[in-house]
């Protein structure tokens, strides 16, 4: 019997340490510097470095740095299932992923550099990224459409030994802090969509790159926005800047997005659990009409539904992570990856909204972390592709296991089944 929900005691010890470290130490960074966690190390103040660097060192000493990576890249090679358990803890905190070296979008960008990068590209970009010294930006979505790569217009045109990139990109996260951008551009306009684009590594200082605007979303001060509209105006890079082969951009993007979506789900689990923890504490503390909120059935319903939804979500996340470890093939697990991509914002929004409701007016303010957590649900319904696109993936994958019924009636049509049963079991003689 191979089914088992227990965690190895040695790994549980590490999880317990991470949990207490995040709750007792890293949470403090969240309230001191909530908008600085994407800044590269060199951009942090000496006071911030004096606090943050020793924390990262402690994580390394515990062997918990960059746990999404294999040992050849400085990680532990724990695999996705163990990562899911750790990421649930880290996802509760704004700074958690940064202090443990698992910050998106750098994690996904590191994965594609590891997978497709040449030795020179790895030395220039991957090494400092893994050390946590620099941050990176993934620049794919365009202003005229993100969910349909068929409308992308940014081009890279061959000019002698160089490529010249021109166009606009939208919502390129962290461009303002990034040392380099990974840019998806059309290199063969007449080719079928799957082979039309290539990926380029572009240093941030390359002439012709203009950050037109940094968009802030709900919950962020306007001047702290990190989602960039970027203009690439004849940005010249050498042929060696191509990541993967010519026309490979879709394959590169899939490697990045498959893991990235699962990791977002793992972290969101932590956020949703934290909302439930807050909800429960408030329900037991707040008294109205002579009894705690926890005694009201409507409030109990909210707590019960939140627990149930989180428990279902956790099982699907863990099962998906387990499948990735087992098959080592994101494509084979794409139905469940798409399913948790759909579930992630749904659970976060539902649980976050209930947590705000139970906290009353206070819940809607910046004096609690709830609006930020709730908003993360709205954002995750779009980041890495909108919910509807992933629903289509789930449905297509589910439908692959079925075929149309043979005749006019569904195969479950009872009169036809009864006739067949009479014929097979009763020799064609109907009862009574
Ligand atoms: C927080 C955040 C961070 C992001 N970071 C990055 C980043 O670092 N780099 C990057 O390149 N991009 C990034 N994005 C952009 C993201 O990938 C896009 O927002 C997403 O792909 C959707 O594109 P769009 O916003 O242009 O919406 P559209 O493509 O205009 O879609 C709008 C809506 O139309 C509907 N829709 C679209 N297509 C379909 C369909 N096939 N079937 C049914 N309904 C559909 C959906 O309701 C969808 O929400 C980020 C987005 C967010 C919110």
Read off the pLDDT of residues 361-375 as tens digits, 9 standing for 90 and up: 999 999 999 999 999
Confidence of residue 256 (pLDDT cuts 50, 70, 90): confident
d(CA 36, CA 224): 9
Digit-coded pLDDT (tens) for 194-252:
999 999 999 999 999 999 999 998 878 888 899 999 999 999 999 999 999 999 999 99
171 within ligand 1 shell (Cβ under 6 A): yes
Q: Closest ligand 1 atom, CA of 105?
A: 8
Rounded to the nearest whole angstrom, what is the distance from the C-alpha of residue 232 to the centroid of ligand 1? Answer: 20
Residue 260, pLDDT score: 86
Check whether 432 has a pLDDT greater than 70: no
The pLDDT, as a whole number, for residue 431 is: 63
Read off the pLDDT of residues 73-102 as tens digits, 9 standing for 90 and up. 777 889 999 999 999 999 999 999 999 999
pLDDT of residue 140: 96
pLDDT at res. 11: 95
* Burial category of 186 from C-beta neighbours within 10 Å (exposed 0-12, middle 13-18, buried 19 and up): buried
Percent of the chain surpassing pLDDT 90? 84
Q: Give the C-alpha separation, 344 to 86, whole Å.
A: 17
pLDDT at 1 over 80: no
pLDDT (average), residues 116-136: 92
Helix, strand, or coil here: 395?
Answer: helix
Tokens of 180: 């380099």
Best residue among 137, 145, 147 to mutate for probing ligand 1, ranked by most atoms within 8 Å of CB: 147
For range 273-294, the mean pLDDT: 98
**Tokens read off for 141:** 């979505």
pLDDT tens digits for range 177-191: 999 999 999 999 999
Give yes or no for residue 152 CB within 6 A of ligand 1: no
- pLDDT confidence tier of residue 353, bands split at 50, 70 and 90: very high
HSE at residue 136, side-chain half, CA atoms within 13 A, is: 30
CB of residue 143 inside a 6 A radius of ligand 1:
no
Q: Is 38 in the pocket of ligand 1 (CB under 6 A)?
A: no
**Token digits of residue 21:** 């470290």
Is residue 141 within 6 Å of ligand 1 at its C-beta? yes
Q: Is the pLDDT of residue 114 over 80?
A: yes
Q: What is the CA radius of gyration of the chain?
A: 25
The pLDDT, as a whole number, for residue 77 is 85
pLDDT digits (tens, 9 = 90+) for 374-408: 999 999 999 999 999 999 999 999 999 999 999 99
pLDDT tens, 24-64?
A: 999 999 999 998 999 998 899 999 999 999 999 999 999 99
Task: Give the chain's mean pLDDT.
Answer: 94
- Structure token pair of residue 413: 């049509």
User: Who wins on pLDDT, 339 or 329?
Assistant: 339
pTM above 0.75, yes or no: yes
Cα–Cα distance measured from residue 308 to residue 72, given in angstroms and rounded to the nearest whole number? 39
140 lines ligand 1 (CB under 6 A): yes
Cβ of 389 below 6 Å from ligand 1: yes
Residue 402: C-alpha distances to residues 78, 146, 366, 377 (Å): 36, 31, 49, 33
Q: Which residues have CB under 8 Å from 312's CB, separation 6+?
A: none
Residue 133: per-residue pLDDT: 85
Q: Given CA atoms 412, 413, 415, 420 in this order, what sign does their dihedral have? A: negative
């Amino acid at each position: 019997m191979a089914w088992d929900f227990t965690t190895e005691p040695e790994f549980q010890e590490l999880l317990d340490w991470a949990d207490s470290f995040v709750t007792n130490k890293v949470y403090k960074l969240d309230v001191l510097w909530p908008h600085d966690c994407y800044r590269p190390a060199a951009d942090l103040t000496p006071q911030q470095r004096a606090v943050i660097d020793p924390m990262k060192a402690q994580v390394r000493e515990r062997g918990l740095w960059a746990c999404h990576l294999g040992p050849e890249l400085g990680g532990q090679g724990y695999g996705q299932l163990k990562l899911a358990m750790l990421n649930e803890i880290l996802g509760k905190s704004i700074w958690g992923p940064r202090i443990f070296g698992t910050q998106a979008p750098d994690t996904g960008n590191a994965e594609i550099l590891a997978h497709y990068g040449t030795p020179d590209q790895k030395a220039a970009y991957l090494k400092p990224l893994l050390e946590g010294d620099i941050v990176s930006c993934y620049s794919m979505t365009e202003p005229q459409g993100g969910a349909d790569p068929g409308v992308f217009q940014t081009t890279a045109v061959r000019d002698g030994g160089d490529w010249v990139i021109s166009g606009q990109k939208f919502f390129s996260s962290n461009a303002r802090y990034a040392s380099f951008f990974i840019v998806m551009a059309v290199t063969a306009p007449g080719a079928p969509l799957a082979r039309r684009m290539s990926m380029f590594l572009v240093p941030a200082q390359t002439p012709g790159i203009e950050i037109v605007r940094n968009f802030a979303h709900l919950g962020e001060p306007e001047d702290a926005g990190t989602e960039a509209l970027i203009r690439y105006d004849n940005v010249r890079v050498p042929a060696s800047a191509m990541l993967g082969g010519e026309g490979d951009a879709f394959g590169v993007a899939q490697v990045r997005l498959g893991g990235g979506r699962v990791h977002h789900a793992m972290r969101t689990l932590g956020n949703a659990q934290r909302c439930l923890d807050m909800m429960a504490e408030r329900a037991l503390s707040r008294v109205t009409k002579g009894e705690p909120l926890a005694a009201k059935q409507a409030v109990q319903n909210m707590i019960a539904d939140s627990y149930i939804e989180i428990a279902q979500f956790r099982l699907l996340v863990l099962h998906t992570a387990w499948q990735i470890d087992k098959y080592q093939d994101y494509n084979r697990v794409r139905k469940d990856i798409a399913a948790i991509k759909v579930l992630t914002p749904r659970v976060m929004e539902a649980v976050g909204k209930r947590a705000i409701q139970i906290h009353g007016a206070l819940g809607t303010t910046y004096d609690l972390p709830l609006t930020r957590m709730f908003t993360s649900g709205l954002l995750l319904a779009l980041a890495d592709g909108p919910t509807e696109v992933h629903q289509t993936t789930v449905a297509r994958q589910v439908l692959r296991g079925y075929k149309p019924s043979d005749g006019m009636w569904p195969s479950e049509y009872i009169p036809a089944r009864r006739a067949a049963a009479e014929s097979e079991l009763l020799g064609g003689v109907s009862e009574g």
